[in-house]
Amino acid sequence: MNGRLLVFNCHEPWVYQLRSLGQPLDIITDLPGRHFRGWDQELRPPPPHSRLLSLAQARESPLPYDVIIAHNLTDLLDA
pTM for this one? 0.87
Relative to beta strand 50-53, strand 5-8 is unpaired
Taking the C-alpha atoms of residue 75 and residue 9, their distance in angstroms, rounded to an integer, is 10
What are the strands, taking DSSP E only, across the chain? 5-8, 25-28, 50-53, 67-69
Taking the C-alpha atoms of residue 74 and residue 63, their distance in angstroms, rounded to an integer, is 23
pLDDT tens, N- to C-terminus, the chain (79 residues): 567 899 998 788 889 999 999 889 999 998 877 677 788 888 889 999 999 999 999 999 888 899 999 888 888 888 8
Taking the C-alpha atoms of residue 16 and residue 14, their distance in angstroms, rounded to an integer, is 5
Domain assignments of the chain as residue spans, ordered by start = 5-78
- Residue 50 bridge partners (DSSP): 25
